[in-house]
């Protein structure tokens, strides 16, 4: 049975975030690994109610596991964050804190979706030089979505942004107020793929698909239920930044201290990067990871790696009922690689 401790830390700008340190039955002998969740979820997203989830698998394998609740986490008070805030302030402070607490000089990271885009921004800007290996899922420096999702990002984001500062998949189950009810009605009209309001609303929030964030056939019934409590507020500030990134074909930053175009100069990181993508990802196309892999490969050939996982989508890479068999071995082998 895993044991957990919550350790608070301050991001570079003073924002209160926390780390969850999880210990298993064996003493870790492989060093610290930092897990970074995506937008509108929390650190717990890596711990679905499957027999062996990703955290269990890492503990069993001897890793010292740290989960980062960065400012996008729904465990923290909602805030209007951008990827820049996380890249400049949250991830460098989280990395520093783990090293301070463990006495280790380096660590490895597994980063998902917007935890990945923001962490990769930190990495290429030279803000996390202590990270030696990054396993990234779904998207990193070159977000690419379907044509229809791109149009949605161009035209629906400004429109919805005038009505609300946040979108919240919880509204799929329970909507109070005019705008949440209006959007709930729209989702009910357009999404008929399952009976889970949060699942359907998450598809409306994060792209175009039925569903967007996983393949239903990859989730156990219990995990499909569990996601009801794992999704909440995501601010329009993020969607506005992502819309600009999609137009540019790569991430773009606006905060002083980060390169405006992180792909304009060589990466300021020595980390080896394993790019993971579900072939059936309906949120970000797997080609997003191919593009970032090619970019890194150009600067240091035969160093990084790319895995396109057949039969998998976006988050089911971590929460799928057969992930223990299908995806964890790939992720863990990349963490283990020298
Ligand atoms: Zn569903």
User: 């992930």: which residue's tokens?
Assistant: 323
Which is nearest to 223 in space by CA: 50, 30, 70?
50
In this predicted structure, the answer to whether residue 80 has a pLDDT above a threshold of 90 is: yes
Mean pLDDT, all residues of the chain: 97
For 171-215, what is each residue's pLDDT tens digit?
A: 999 999 999 999 999 999 999 999 999 999 999 999 999 999 999
79 alpha carbon – ligand 1 mean position (Å): 27
**C-alpha 313 to ligand 1 mean position (Å):** 13
Q: What is the pLDDT of residues 11-51, one digit of tens each?
A: 999 999 999 999 999 999 999 999 999 999 999 999 999 99
Alpha helices (H) along the chain: 54-60, 83-85, 91-102, 113-124, 147-163, 178-190, 197-206, 221-226, 236-248, 287-299, 316-319, 323-326, 328-336
Between helices 113-124 and 91-102, what is the axis angle to 10°?
A: 80
Ligand 1 geometric centre to CA of 211 (Å): 6
Each residue of 263-296: pLDDT tens digit? 999 999 999 999 999 999 999 999 999 999 999 9
User: What separation in Å is there between the alpha carbon of 210 and the centre of ligand 1?
Assistant: 8
CA of 70 to the centre of ligand 1 (A): 26
Residues with CB under 5 A from ligand 1 (ion): 194, 196, 199
Q: Give the chain's domains with CATH numbers.
A: 3-146+255-336 (3.40.50.1820), 147-237 (no CATH)
Could you tell me the distance, in angstroms and rounded to a whole number, from the CA of residue 288 to the centre of ligand 1?
A: 25
The sign one gets for the Cα dihedral 128, 133, 139, 142 is positive
Cα(195) to centroid(ligand 1), Å: 7
β-partners of residue 272 are 133
Tens digits of per-residue pLDDT, 113-169?
999 999 999 999 999 999 999 999 999 999 999 999 999 999 999 999 999 999 999
Tens digit of pLDDT for each residue in 44-73?
999 999 999 999 999 999 999 999 999 999
**Residue 112 alpha carbon to ligand 1 centre in Å:** 20
**291 CA distance to ligand 1 middle (Å):** 30
The pLDDT value given to residue 93: 99
Compute, in angstroms, the gap from residue 228 CA to the centroid of ligand 1. Answer: 10
| Ligand 1 centre distance from Cα of residue 54 (Å) | 21
Per the structure block, which two tokens stand in for 137?
């899922």
Q: According to the model, what pLDDT value does residue 2 have? A: 78
Per-residue confidence at 258, pLDDT binned at 50, 70, 90? very high
CA of 216 to the centre of ligand 1 (A): 6
Distance 82 CA to ligand 1 centre (A): 28
Distance 173 CA to ligand 1 centre (A): 12
pTM, entire model: 0.98
Distance (Å) from CA 38 to ligand 1 centroid: 19
* Calpha distance 141→81 (Å, rounded): 18
Q: Compute, in angstroms, the gap from residue 130 CA to the centroid of ligand 1.
A: 39
Peptide bond into 211 cis (omega under 30): yes
Q: Does 1 have pLDDT greater than 80? A: no
CA of 270 to the centre of ligand 1 (A): 40
How far does residue 326's CA lie from ligand 1's centre (Å)? Answer: 21
């Amino acid at each position: 049975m895993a044991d957990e401790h919550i350790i608070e830390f301050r991001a570079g700008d003073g924002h209160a975030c926390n780390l969850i340190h999880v210990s298993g039955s064996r003493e870790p002998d492989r060093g610290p690994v930092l897990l970074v969740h995506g937008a509108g979820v929390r650190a717990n997203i890596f711990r679905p109610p499957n027999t062996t989830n990703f955290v269990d698998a890492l503990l069993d394998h001897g890793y010292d596991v740290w989960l980062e609740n960065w400012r996008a986490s729904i465990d923290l008070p909602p805030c209007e964050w951008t990827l820049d805030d996380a890249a400049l302030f949250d991830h460098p402070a989280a990395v520093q804190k783990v090293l301070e607490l463990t006495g280790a000089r380096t660590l490895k990271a597994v980063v998902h979706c917007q935890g990945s885009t923001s962490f990769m921004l930190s990495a290429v800007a030279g803000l996390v030089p202590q990270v030696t290996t990054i396993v990234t899922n779904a998207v990193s420096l070159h977000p690419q979505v379907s044509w229809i999702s791109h149009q949605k990002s161009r035209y629906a984001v400004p429109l919805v942004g005038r009505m609300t500062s946040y979108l919240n998949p919880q509204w799929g189950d329970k909507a109070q107020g005019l705008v949440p009810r209006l959007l709930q009605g729209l989702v009910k009209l357009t999404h008929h793929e399952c009976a889970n309001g949060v699942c359907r609303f998450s598809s409306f929030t994060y792209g175009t698909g039925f569903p967007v964030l996983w393949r239903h056939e990859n989730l156990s019934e219990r995990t499909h239920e569990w996601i009801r409590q794992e999704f909440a507020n995501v601010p329009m500030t993020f969607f506005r930044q992502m819309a600009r990134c999609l137009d540019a074909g790569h991430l773009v930053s606006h905060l002083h201290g980060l390169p405006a175009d992180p792909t304009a100069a060589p990466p300021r990181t020595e980390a080896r990067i394993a790019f993971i993508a579900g072939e059936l990802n309906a949120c970000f196309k797997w080609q997003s990871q191919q593009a970032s892999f090619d970019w890194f490969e150009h600067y240091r050939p035969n160093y990084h790696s790319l895995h396109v996982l057949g039969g998998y989508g976006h988050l089911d890479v971590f929460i799928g009922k057969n992930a223990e068999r299908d995806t964890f071995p790939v992720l863990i082998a990349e963490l283990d690689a020298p």
